[in-house]
Amino acid sequence: MGQPIETPTSIDDLISQVKSLSEVIPRGSGTKPSLWESSETTTLIDTRQLSSIVEYQPSEYTITVQAGTLLSEVVEALAENGQYLPFDPPMAEEGATVGGTVAAGLSGPGAYRYGPLKDFIIGVRFVDGIGNFVRGGGKVVKNAAGFDFPKLFNGSLGRLGILTEVSFKVFPEPQSYVTLQTQCESHQEALKILPIVKGYDLEGVELDNQLNLQMRLGFQEATMDVRKQGLESLINKDLSLTFGEPERAVWKSIKGFNWAQDNRSLFKVATHPHSALKFLNAIQLENWTLHLSNGGKSLYLSGPADDDITSLDETLKSQKLTGLQIKGPVDSHPLIGNTSSIPFINRVQKALDPENRFLTFSPTTSEVAS
């Protein structure tokens, strides 16, 4: 029962497994089941044995790790040197791997400050669909040579190649944080606050299902008070302040998707503040929980696992928004809504996987017909 699993312990292993199997999908720790659960004819390739920090020189602002490395290890190694992954990947505490995070294209709340994962991935190595071991990008922070495979693999869903190594650009982390919190009356009200705070170098802006708006500031001790007062006067609302351990707990919980219960589905939609609002106004979701992340650039939704998602899919399509199912039952095509990029990606996939070993991004014509 269940899907067969292979666990490569070396690149050579991985190459020969890919070559000998007819249908494969890589998996890290399995924290995002909708991205790997598939039929019994698809072999899971567990990448967790390909795990190590390959190269890390803090003064270069870069780190290179094997794809099966746990995010938590990377986060820790960086923290020892006062650095961090500025895209602030989620689910590190839950055991997510680097490869799985890249393939899912997931960033956390901290992406508000400097940008999402795609802005920090500078190099990849991967095994393509015919067992070639390929390198794209490089290990230096700036590089314009060759096609940008690192960008392509952001969100590749394990369907363009099996990542074995990833290089990131990293940044120094703020010395400490405070979080300002305020209760909003509606999404509309919260979204009005967002443009007002845009000139501030915030490290995160999140709006949860209870309409709590959390704004995170990274700082040096000396400037905290004056920065907080500046923000208060700007929003003209009472703000409560947390710091220290409780503050960290707030963000840990956001990154762990603690608000979305385990037995329910989880979706992410790429938005901007207004498209998120428009979408929320258009859709009826009984029993669903919403979380507006990254200053309104990502919307997360969680609902009963067995809910029909047809109307979700259709509303997304009509508003030209794209969604990704992260948890919950899926028919092996976790992308929903607008898929206008997919015909182009399908052509790239054909080049990287001419023998169709990887799963497709959207139902093929024959699948639709049957």
Partner 1 sequence: MDLINQLEQLFPPKQLFTKKSQLVAYETDGLTSFRSEPLAVVVPETHDQVIETVRLCHKAGVPFMARGSGTSLSGGSMPVEGGVVITLNRLNKILKLDPENRFAVVEAGTVNLKVSQAAAPHRLYYAPDPSSQQICTIGGNLAFNSGGAHCLKYGMTANHVLGIKAVLADGEVAELGGESADTVGPDAAGFFCGNEGLFGVALEVTLRLTPQPQRYCTLLAAYDSLEKAGHAVSAVVDSGMLPGAMEIMDKLSIKAAETAVNAGYPQDAAALLIVELEGEIEAVEEDFKTLRGLIDTTGAYETRVAQDDAERMTIWKGRKSAFSAVGRLSPDYLVQDGVVPRSRLAEALVKIENYSKEYGLDVANVFHAGDGNLHPLIMFNGKEEGALHHAEELAGKILSMCVEMGGSITGEHGVGMEKKKYMPQMFNETDMECMKRVRRAIDPLEIANRGKMFPGGEAPALTTHGAHPLEKAGIISRE
Which residues inside 120-179 make contact with partner 1, applying CB under 8 A?
A: 128, 132-136, 138-149, 151-157, 160, 171-172
Contact map string, positions 258 to 297, toward partner 1, x by CB under 8 A:
----------xxxxxxxx------------------x--x
Phi/psi for 47 (5° steps) reads: -90, 0
- One-letter amino acid of 202: L
Runs of H (alpha helix) within 29-92: 71-79
DSSP letter string, 130-174? TS-EEEEE-SSS----S--HHHHHTT-TTSS-EEEEEEEE-EEPP
Contact map string, positions 179 to 208, toward partner 1, x by CB under 8 A:
----------------x--xxxx-------
Nearer of residues 227 and 248 to partner 1, judged by Cβ: 227
User: Which residue in 39, 57, 258, 356 binds partner 1 (CB under 8 A)?
Assistant: 57
Measure the CA angle with vertex 42, ends 136 and 331; round to 5°. Answer: 95
User: Which residue in 22, 52, 188, 223 binds partner 1 (CB under 8 A)?
Assistant: 223
Subset of residues 71 to 110 that bind partner 1, contact rule: CB under 8 A: 82, 105, 107
Count of chain residues binding partner 1 (CB under 8 A): 86
User: Which residue in 30, 33, 58, 304 binds partner 1 (CB under 8 A)?
Assistant: 58
End-to-end CA distance of the chain: 25
Report in angstroms how near the CB of residue 3 gets to partner 1 at its nearest: 23
Stretch that binds partner 1, among 27-35, 42-50, 70-78, 321-329 (CB under 8 A): 321-329
2: left (phi over 0), alpha (psi -120 to 50) or beta: left
Instruction: Establish if 317 lies at the interface with partner 1 (CB under 8 A).
Output: no
Stretch that binds partner 1, among 14-22, 68-76, 240-248, 322-330 (CB under 8 A): 322-330
User: Which residue in 10, 318, 340, 356 binds partner 1 (CB under 8 A)?
Assistant: 340
Contact map string, positions 224 to 263, toward partner 1, x by CB under 8 A:
--xx--x---------------------------------
Report in angstroms how near the CB of residue 323 gets to partner 1 at its nearest: 6
Q: Are 285 and 269 in contact (CB under 8 A)?
A: no
Report in angstroms how near the CB of residue 48 gets to partner 1 at its nearest: 23
Nearer of residues 142 and 284 to partner 1, judged by Cβ: 142
Report in angstroms how near the CB of residue 36 gets to partner 1 at its nearest: 16
The candidate with the shortest Cα–Cα distance to 72, out of 90, 55, 87, 59, is 90
Subset of residues 28 to 47 that bind partner 1, contact rule: CB under 8 A: none
Q: What is the CA radius of gyration of the chain?
A: 21
Nearer of residues 200 and 259 to partner 1, judged by Cβ: 200
Report in angstroms how near the CB of residue 272 gets to partner 1 at its nearest: 4
Which string of b and e fits 311-329 if b means at least 16 CB within 10 Å? ebeebbbebebbbbbbbbe
How many whole angstroms from its chain centre is CA 96? 11
User: Which residue in 1, 210, 262, 347 binds partner 1 (CB under 8 A)?
Assistant: 347
Nearer of residues 35 and 70 to partner 1, judged by Cβ: 35
Strands 264-270 and 176-183: unpaired
The candidate with the shortest Cα–Cα distance to 165, out of 122, 105, 135, 124, is 124
Report in angstroms how near the CB of residue 34 gets to partner 1 at its nearest: 13
Beta-strand (E) ranges in 159-316?
A: 162-169, 171-172, 176-183, 202-207, 212-219, 240-243, 264-270, 289-293, 298-304
Q: Are 103 and 162 in contact (CB under 8 A)?
A: no
* Residues 359, 370: Cα–Cα separation, whole Å: 17
